[in-house]
């Protein structure tokens, strides 16, 4: 069974047809790159999958919860890195606070930002923020993880680290969908690439 | 064009000349000050022609003006402002049931007394046998008008018998509040007491004489010559029966008056000044004596402001949340509330809450003050919170939603705490404003810092020292607050 199944997705923005008739699937353990120039609707597709924006037509089926890492991370400004990570497990999954906090520390350690657990978002670098945001999404143990332009704020070394992390997540059986215009990154690491502009051209 | 302009100038000059000639020929005016809010029988708007005033003081002013060969013109001045207005020369003479007192004589030119009154204790009919004198009213609330002889008597009775003086700005509401049970007695002069008993059912005047006083006219201190002429006119009116006729018309003539007039006409008027033995304390001595009362009043101001602000914050948060998350009808209702509260004066809201609703619910004055200030400021707070909530970036809300937080969880865990930081500075401003607006509650008998200062100033007849002390106490309360807010802000918004 596919972890993610999108059929006939149509998205409108202010009366303009942005995405039309988009269908694709992603299997468990797949690392799918959604490519396309700016303005082709990559971010809109991710937001539609995450259920953040209404769609004009189409069906999105997900086998469980969707985690999302935004391009600008959107860490909760009033909390430390660690609090960002355990907030949802405690309040949504009703996990005991101590367990959620321990698991949060493990995730931050795993992503190499364990030392920044007590830092506030404004004290973190772009790369650190991104890893805290990944930890926050993973804390909810989603089978599907969406990432919007993850390489935008990273240098080459950090990009390789990120790629290794995403591969490890895919190896755990998670489906990772990355919206990016970074062709090199997509070519090197994605198991499959979906081009929005060519789909647009095909239509 | 030029011709037309020239003729216009000529016409204007002619108009000016004729107007100034008419002005020069018009008899001089006697500007006399009084408070028409005091009502009959002193001064009140004529029910048949509200532009005119009627009352015994109007007629006394008329007799004085006639004696001076002038035309009387009434000037409306609030009762508690009559003394400073006289000192400033806002009018030639003040006549409005003004009581003779050593403090007045020390600061103003005061006429001979033209009426003698007795202070009466008014109680509810059912308490007729329980509360006969002030000594029976230990621990009870006794109402009066601020800065009067009755007030001085009550302050003395507070020390001697433990009664609780409650001061009003007008002489109507003490009696209506007595009928409602908000106070247990009223001490005021018999003219007011008679009227109070007539207007409210179930009240009775106790026969015991609580003290007597005199109505006088007041002029600025440099008008002693005019005062002496007026004294002579009053004496003449006592001799020829004109004053008697006036007081008979207003049903105020009694056996005390002929005795008073006889004493005055025989030249013993100066012995009448009440408490002549007690010297007027100098300003610094008075300040030292009033300081504890001012500090107590400052505590009232502070407690009132803090509790009202807490109420305003709680209700403001509910209103802001309702306007952002609530259903459309709820949003309309809450928007209406905010607009009505912001669009009407706080003073009016306090009056409605305390006096207007008295027939339905009788709130104690302090509670009414709390609720009035709290509800009023809640409207302003809600606007601060609403814009602060809207200022939290959408990305924060998106992140909360994708993690599965409910709207309520997002509000309490993410959006609310971030909005609070944005709201802190305007909230501090509002609290400082509330601290000062709390002075308005004196109209519903709460004696807070400004009211206590007003009483202090009225008693010593000067605003300089009381005003400076009052300002210093307000600043001592508001400045540390502003500092605290700046420190919290710096901690929450590191540069």
Residues A93, A140: contact at Cβ < 8 Å? yes
B466 and B401 housed in the same domain: yes
What's the 3-state SS for A138-184?
HCCCCCEEEEECCCCCCCHHHHHHHHHHHHHHHHCCCEEEEEECCHH
Q: Is some CB atom of chain A closer than 8 A to the CB atom of B405? A: yes
**Which of A47, A76, A136 comes nearest B396 by C-beta?**
A76
What is the tens place of the pLDDT at every residue in B435-469?
999 999 888 878 889 988 887 887 776 788 889 99
Which residues, 6 or more positions from A22, have their beta carbon under 8 angstroms from its beta carbon?
A6, A8, A9, A10, A45, A58, A196, A199
Residue A94 to chain B, least CA–CA distance (Å): 11
Question: Computed from CA positions of residues B24, B26, B28, B31, in that sequence, does the dihedral angle turn out positive or negative?
Answer: negative
In a domain, B391, yes or no: yes
Beta bridge partners of A10: A57
B260 and B313 housed in the same domain: no
B438 and B454 housed in the same domain: yes
Task: Give the residue-averaged pLDDT of B471-495.
Answer: 80
Give the ipTM. Answer: 0.93
Residue B346 to chain A, least CA–CA distance (Å): 36
In a domain, B147, yes or no: yes
Distances (CA, A) of B306 to A112, B135, B346: 48, 36, 18
Residue B488 class from Cβ within 10 Å (0-12 exposed, 13-18 middle, 19+ buried)?
middle
- B365 phi, psi to nearest 5 deg: -55, -45
**Which of A66, A70, A140 comes nearest B395 by C-beta?**
A70
pLDDT the model gives residue A115: 94
B334 and B429 housed in the same domain: yes
B471 and B362 housed in the same domain: yes
Residues A145, A175: contact at Cβ < 8 Å? yes
What is the tens place of the pLDDT at every residue in B77-131?
888 788 888 988 889 999 998 999 888 888 899 999 999 999 999 999 999 999 9
B384 and B304 housed in the same domain: yes
In a domain, B250, yes or no: yes
In a domain, B289, yes or no: yes
In a domain, B9, yes or no: no
Look at residues B213, B233, B257 and tell me which one is the last residue of a structural domain: B213
B482 and B415 housed in the same domain: yes
**Which of B395, B404, B494 comes nearest A74 by C-beta?**
B395
What is the tens place of the pLDDT at every residue in B228-249?
999 999 999 999 999 999 999 9
Query: Are residues B403 and A70, on separate chains, in Cβ contact within 8 Å?
Result: no
In chain A, residues with a C-beta closer than 8 Å to the C-beta of B395 are 70, 72, 74
Q: In this model, does residue B304 exceed pLDDT 90?
A: yes
B318 and B449 housed in the same domain: yes
CATH code for the domain in which residue B467 is found: 1.10.3720.10
Q: In this model, does residue A166 exceed pLDDT 70?
A: yes
Query: Are residues B399 and A75, on separate chains, in Cβ contact within 8 Å?
Result: yes
Number of domains present in the structure of chain B: 3
The tokens for A36 are: 């396309």
pLDDT bin (cut points 50, 70, 90) of residue B339 is very high
In a domain, B40, yes or no: yes
What is the C-alpha to C-alpha distance for residues B249 and B245, in angstroms, rounded to an integer? Answer: 6
Question: What single DSSP character describes residue B43?
Answer: B
pLDDT the model gives residue B61: 94
In a domain, B20, yes or no: no
B89 and B226 housed in the same domain: yes
Domain with B150 in it: 118-213
Helix (H, G, I), strand (E, B), or coil: what is residue B109? strand
Interface mutation target, options A88, A95, A97, chain B, most CBs of B under 10 Å: A88
User: Where do the domains of chain A lie, and which CATH numbers do they carry?
Assistant: 27-52+64-202 (3.40.50.300)
B60 and B207 housed in the same domain: no
In chain A, residues with a C-beta closer than 8 Å to the C-beta of B421 are 78
In a domain, B15, yes or no: no
B185 and B294 housed in the same domain: no
Residue B396 to chain A, least CA–CA distance (Å): 6
Look at residues B198, B213, B228 and tell me which one is the last residue of a structural domain: B213
Beta bridge partners of B93: B32
What is the C-alpha to C-alpha distance for residues B274 and B370, in angstroms, rounded to an integer? Answer: 39
In chain A, residues with a C-beta closer than 8 Å to the C-beta of B418 are 76-78
CATH code for the domain in which residue B171 is found: 3.40.190.10
B186 and B335 housed in the same domain: no
Other beta carbons within 10 angstroms of residue B315's beta carbon come to 18
Other beta carbons within 10 angstroms of residue A19's beta carbon come to 23
Look at residues B248, B272, B296 and tell me which one is the last residue of a structural domain: B272
Residues of chain A in Cβ contact (below 8 Å) with chain B? 47, 50-52, 65-68, 70, 72, 74-78, 87-88, 91-92, 122, 136-137, 140
């Amino acid at each position: 069974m596919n972890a993610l199944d999108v059929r006939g997705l149509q998205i409108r923005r202010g009366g303009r047809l942005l995405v039309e008739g988009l269908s694709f699937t992603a299997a468990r353990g797949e690392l799918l790159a959604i490519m396309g120039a700016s303005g082709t609707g990559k971010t809109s597709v991710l937001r539609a999958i995450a259920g953040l924006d209404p769609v004009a037509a189409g069906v999105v089926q997900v086998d469980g919860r969707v985690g999302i890492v935004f391009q600008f991370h959107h860490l909760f400004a009033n909390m430390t890195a660690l609090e960002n990570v355990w907030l949802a497990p405690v309040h949504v999954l009703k996990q005991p606070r101590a367990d959620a906090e321990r698991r949060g520390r493990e995730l931050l350690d795993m992503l190499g930002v364990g030392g920044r657990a007590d830092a506030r978002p404004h004290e973190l670098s772009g790369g650190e923020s991104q890893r805290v945001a990944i930890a926050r999404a993973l804390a909810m143990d989603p089978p599907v993880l969406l990432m919007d332009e993850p390489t935008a704020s990273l240098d080459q070394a950090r990009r390789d680290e990120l790629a290794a992390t995403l591969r490890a997540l895919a190896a755990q059986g998670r489906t990772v969908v990355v919206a990016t215009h970074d062709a090199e990154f997509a070519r090197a690491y994605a198991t499959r690439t979906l081009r929005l502009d060519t789909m647009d051209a095909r239509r | 064009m030029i011709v037309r302009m020239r003729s216009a100038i000529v016409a204007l000059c002619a108009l000016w000349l004729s107007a100034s000639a008419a002005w020069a020929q018009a008899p001089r005016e006697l500007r006399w000050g009084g408070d028409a809010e005091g009502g009959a029988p002193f001064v009140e708007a004529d029910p048949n022609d509200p532009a005119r005033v009627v009352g015994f003081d109007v007629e006394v002013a008329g007799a004085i003006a006639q004696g001076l060969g002038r035309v009387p013109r009434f000037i409306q001045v609030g009762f508690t402002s009559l003394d400073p207005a006289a000192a400033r020369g806002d009018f030639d003479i003040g006549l409005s049931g003004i009581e003779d007192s050593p403090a007045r004589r020390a600061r103003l030119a005061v006429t001979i007394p033209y009426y003698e009154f007795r202070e009466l204790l008014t109680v509810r009919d059912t308490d007729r046998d329980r509360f006969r004198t002030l000594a029976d009213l230990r621990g009870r609330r006794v109402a009066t008008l601020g800065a009067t002889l009755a007030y001085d008597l009550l302050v003395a009775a507070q020390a001697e018998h433990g009664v609780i003086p409650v001061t009003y700005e007008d002489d109507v509401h003490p009696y209506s509040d007595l009928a409602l049970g908000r106070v247990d007695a009223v001490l005021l002069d018999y003219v007011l007491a008679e009227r109070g008993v007539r207007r409210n059912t179930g009240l009775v005047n106790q026969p015991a004489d609580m003290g007597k006083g005199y109505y006088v006219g007041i002029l600025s201190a440099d008008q002693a010559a005019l005062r002496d002429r007026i004294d002579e006119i009053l004496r003449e009116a006592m001799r020829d029966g004109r004053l008697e006729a006036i007081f008979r018309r207003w049903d105020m003539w009694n056996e005390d008056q002929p005795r008073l007039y006889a004493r005055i006409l025989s030249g013993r008027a100066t012995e009448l000044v009440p408490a002549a033995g007690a010297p007027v304390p100098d300003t610094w001595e008075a300040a030292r004596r009033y300081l504890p009362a001012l500090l107590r009043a400052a505590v009232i101001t502070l407690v009132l402001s803090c509790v009202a602000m807490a109420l305003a914050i709680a209700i403001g948060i509910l209103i802001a949340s309702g306007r952002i998350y609530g259903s459309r009808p709820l949003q309309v209702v809450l928007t209406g509330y905010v607009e009505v509260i912001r669009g009407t004066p706080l003073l009016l809201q306090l009056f409605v809450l305390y006096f207007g609703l008295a027939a339905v619910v009788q709130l104690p004055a302090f509670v009414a003050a709390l609720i009035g200030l709290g509800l009023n400021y809640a409207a302003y707070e809600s606007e601060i919170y609403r814009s602060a909530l809207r200022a939290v970036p959408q990305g924060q809300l998106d992140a909360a939603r994708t993690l599965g937080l409910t709207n309520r969880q997002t509000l309490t865990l993410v959006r609310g705490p971030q909005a609070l930081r944005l709201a802190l500075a305007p909230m501090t401003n509002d609290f400082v404003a509330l601290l000062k607006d709390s002075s308005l509650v004196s109209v519903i008998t709460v004696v807070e810092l400004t009211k206590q200062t007003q009483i202090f100033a009225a008693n010593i007849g000067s605003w300089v020292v009381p005003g400076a002390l009052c300002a210093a106490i307000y600043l001592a309360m508001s400045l540390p607050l502003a500092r605290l807010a700046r420190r919290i802000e710096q901690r929450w918004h590191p540069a």
